[in-house]
């Protein structure tokens, strides 16, 4: 029992030590310096998102200190998603609605939607966000300002997760535990090696020139976990990806109950952890 207790202590101490070190690197962006930067295209793929899309678009339009456009792709919605976006676009010329094309063979749906959004965008920066994400008015200016000032080609992070049910509160914080407890941020910050690639598909900001050079979402067309796969593709081509603390800047209510949490995490687990065989190992460690 003493040996088992020592093993458990070590397994708990290692991520704690990593967390304390990582907090030196995982910081919120400061206020941008200098003149307003290049145009940012906020890109939102949406399918049956009538409960979310108005709030998502409105939050993006409230951005301060940044030149933005908002492009929404309606991916075959059967509800009022498209109609709601059209109403907003009639009032604000910064908003455009495009219709998604039929899914080609070999593509995952979200990756194809994002590829179409990137083609339609006119900004020098591409901000991909889910429809359940809400941007603080300062978010775009601060995060794009950090990316420009530090020559970051792709910037991502974990949005501040809004959790209300017990299942959400038990499971969703594991995203932060895995990120801060097991990924050496010093490797993310000081190298461009693909093994340190990390990101979250809910929020990804990419420099358009670099995005096109790596093939965009076409380079990861058949992968489920775009949040990890896209930074890996960037680093594989020699570009720099980084992570930022999005607390207070980007918000998300990912799931509404335990059943949705379980289904969502199960879908993404094998790619997020690298291989199906790693799931058992990580589950034991956690």
Instruction: For the chain, give the percent of residues with pLDDT over 70.
Output: 92
**Nearest by Cα to 163 from 266, 249, 252:** 252
Exposed/middle/buried for residue 47 (C-beta within 10 Å: 0-12, 13-18, 19+)? middle
Q: Residue 279: pLDDT above 80?
A: no
Task: State the alpha helices, DSSP H only, in the chain.
Answer: 2-22, 53-61, 81-91, 109-120, 139-149, 166-171, 174-182, 185-190, 208-213, 226-236, 258-272, 277-285
Kind of pairing between the strands at 125-129 and 160-161: unpaired
Structure-token pair, residue 219:
């380079």
Average pLDDT over residues 149-176: 90
* C-alpha to C-alpha distances, 26 to 79, 121, 284, nearest whole angstrom: 39, 29, 26
Q: Residue 41: pLDDT above 70?
A: yes
CA distance 216 to 237: 12
User: pLDDT tens across 80-99, in order?
Assistant: 999 999 999 999 999 999 99
User: pLDDT tens across 199-253, in order?
Assistant: 999 999 999 999 999 999 999 999 988 889 999 999 999 999 999 999 999 999 9
CA distance 15 to 238: 29
Dihedral (CA of 156, 160, 163, 166) sign:
positive
Judged by average pLDDT, the poorest of 54-68, 98-112, 155-169, 269-283 is: 269-283
Average pLDDT over residues 26-43: 82
Q: What is the pLDDT of residue 276?
A: 58
Q: What is the pLDDT of residue 30?
A: 83
Q: What is the CA radius of gyration of the chain?
A: 19
Q: Residue 272: pLDDT above 60?
A: no
Average pLDDT over residues 94-121: 96
Judged by average pLDDT, the poorest of 157-161, 185-189, 265-269 is: 265-269
Residues 6+ apart with CB under 8 A from 22: 180, 181, 183, 184, 185
């Amino acid at each position: 029992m003493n040996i088992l207790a020592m093993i458990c202590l070590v397994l708990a101490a290692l991520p704690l030590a990593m967390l304390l070190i990582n907090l030196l690197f995982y910081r919120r962006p400061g206020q941008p310096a200098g003149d307003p930067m290049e145009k940012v295209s906020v890109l939102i793929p949406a399918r049956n998102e009538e409960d979310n899309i108005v709030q998502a678009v409105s939050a993006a339009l409230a951005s301060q200190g940044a030149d933005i456009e908002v492009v929404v792709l309606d991916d075959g919605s059967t509800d009022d998603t498209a109609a709601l976006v059209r109403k907003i676009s009639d009032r604000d010329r910064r908003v455009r609605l495009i219709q998604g094309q039929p899914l080609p063979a070999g593509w995952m749906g979200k990756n194809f939607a994002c590829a179409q959004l990137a083609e339609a965008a006119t900004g020098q920066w591409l901000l991909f966000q889910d429809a359940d994400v809400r941007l603080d008015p300062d978010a775009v200016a601060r995060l794009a300002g950090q990316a420009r000032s530090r020559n970051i080609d792709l910037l991502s992070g974990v949005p501040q997760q809004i959790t209300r049910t017990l299942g959400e509160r038990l499971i969703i914080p594991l995203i932060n535990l895995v990120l801060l407890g097991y990924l050496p941020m010093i490797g993310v910050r000081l190298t461009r090696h693909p093994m340190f690639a990390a990101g979250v598909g809910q929020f990804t900001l990419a420099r358009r020139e670099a995005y096109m050079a790596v093939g965009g979402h076409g380079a990861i067309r058949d992968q489920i976990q775009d949040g990890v796969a896209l930074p890996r593709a960037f680093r594989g081509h020699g570009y720099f990806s980084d992570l930022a603390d999005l607390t207070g800047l980007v918000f998300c209510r990912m799931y509404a109950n335990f059943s949705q949490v379980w289904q969502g995490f199960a879908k993404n687990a094998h790619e997020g952890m690298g291989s199906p065989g790693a799931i058992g190992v990580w589950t034991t460690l956690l």
